[in-house]
Amino acid sequence: MEHIGLNPERLRIEFMSSAEGILFAEVMSEFGNKVKELGPLGKREGMDQKELKSKLAEITKLVPYIKLVKNEKLASRLVNPEEYDKLFTKDEIDRLFSEVISYYIDPEKCQACMTCAKRCPVEAIISAKNQVHVIDQEKCIKCGTCFEVCPPKFGAVTKISGEPVPPPIPEEKRTIVRKSKER
In the complex, which residues of this chain contact ligand SF4 (CB under 6 A)?
A: 103, 105, 110-116, 120, 122, 124-125, 133, 135, 140-146, 150, 154, 156-157
Q: How far is the CB of 138 from ligand SF4 (least distance, A)?
A: 11
Q: How far is the CB of 129 from ligand SF4 (least distance, A)?
A: 10
> In this complex, which beta carbon is closest to ligand SF4, that of residue 52 or of residue 124?
124
Q: How far is the CB of 22 from ligand SF4 (least distance, A)?
A: 46
Candidates 73, 80, 74, 77; CA nearest to 15 is 80
Q: How far is the CB of 107 from ligand SF4 (least distance, A)?
A: 9
Q: How far is the CB of 7 from ligand SF4 (least distance, A)?
A: 32
> In this complex, which beta carbon is closest to ligand SF4, that of residue 21 or of residue 151?
151
Q: How crowded is residue 132: how many other Cβ atoms within 10 Å of its Cβ?
A: 23
> In this complex, which beta carbon is closest to ligand SF4, that of residue 6 or of residue 120?
120
